[in-house]
Structure 1
């Protein structure tokens, strides 16, 4: 019984201090560790996250792998948790230790719903991402992620960003793509949106040159139009 009473009283004190705000909330924020944030995420405990956020503790702390709570939730494909964290003030634009953002994660996990949510929550589609200093659009073009590429084009992602390999999204699609229908669709969408077909790689080869060399005639025709 005494333990129960103590817990009730402690909860009442915390609630009262949170209501007062100011320095009281700041003091409470110091009582929350990074582990508390990730424990709440692991348990999908929205109420605990609410309390942590209300106390003024950061929801953008990183775990030992360099991931934020949003990144962890995104990898898990938990759209409601991602949405809740951002609503509480977590930064949707933060990346993991390898410079992969939520859009990159959506592409890796073939989750267009996550990409749509991230864009709706205000993620910046123009961010330079990955160790290759590329972009979500370049990565999506590499992976043949038609639906996500379409979203990114519509959201205004830079069409002609060049990564540290010297490749644009068009070059990535023609160099690393297999010429199948998804890559044909991506090349067409990029071309229709105004991607520059004349940007060559570091060896001077254009997207159409790569398509010809690989025998991808359908893509050659698209690039000739």
Structure 2
């Protein structure tokens, strides 16, 4: 094919291939890595958006479709693309707690300082949900700020206590946060420390961890 001849996937004017874009969004949402690759080969744009401004990568991450996400990252997809809820692919890993997806996104060098609609970084929702493996991994493998304070005035440690259940998963989360430098005495906006919250909620094992780390 002569160098300047348009490919079958693009119009002579260079307009986007809408069919390929739609196929890519559907394939990413469904986790079909082979169809993702085919849509990209047909000229689909890696940063095409759906009706909620979600990119193919964000759709793949939301469904924890690691193979599809890996294809998109290899194609240069942006891990920091914001949707209409102020989520990014990287931020969503903190919600799903998927370590495999975290690892899939790290080669794209995500910005760990971008915040969600609550002003939080990825480790905060992960701590709230008790995603212990993810919390350990994201703290060990990225520069995410363990003491970041969200718009509610809470750190990851505070959310692990205030919104956690004090069970084994949240105990592991607290252990990891403390091991990676969480400020055990950084209080909420009312001046209540993580230890005080733990005691008030009857989370005695968590309270013991916090006391051992110097909590007051």
Q: Which residue of 1 aligns with 2:185?
A: 198
SS of the aligned residue for 2:186 comes to: coil
Alignment correspondent of 2:32: none
1:5 corresponding residue in structure 2: none
- Aligned pair count reads 202
Higher relative contact order (CA 8 A, sep 6+): 2
Corresponding residue SS for 1:17: coil
Contact 2:93 2:101 in 1 (8 A): yes
* Distance in 2 between residues matched to 1:216 and 1:15, nearest whole Å: 68
Which structure is higher in helix share?
1
Alignment TM-score, normalising by the size of structure 2: 0.83
Describe the shift of the 1:138–1:108 C-alpha distance in structure 2 as closer, same or farther (beyond 3 A): closer
Shift of 1:136: 0.6
With the length of structure 1 as denominator, give the TM-score of the two structures: 0.80
Q: Secondary structure at the match of 1:177?
A: coil
2:157 corresponds, among 170, 174, 180, to: 170
Structure number, greater radius of gyration: 1
Distance 1:113 1:174 in 2: 26
Q: Over the residues paired in the alignment, what is the CA RMSD in angstroms?
A: 2.4
Give the whole-Å Cα distance in 1 for the aligned partners of 2:4 and 2:137.
43
- What is aligned with 2:24? 40
Residue segments in structure 1 that go unaligned for 5+ positions in a row = 1-11, 19-24
Q: Are residues 1:17 and 2:6 paired? A: yes
Q: 2:48 touches 2:56 (CA, 8 Å); kept in 1? A: yes
Whole-angstrom CA distance in 1 between matches of 2:155 and 2:199? 18
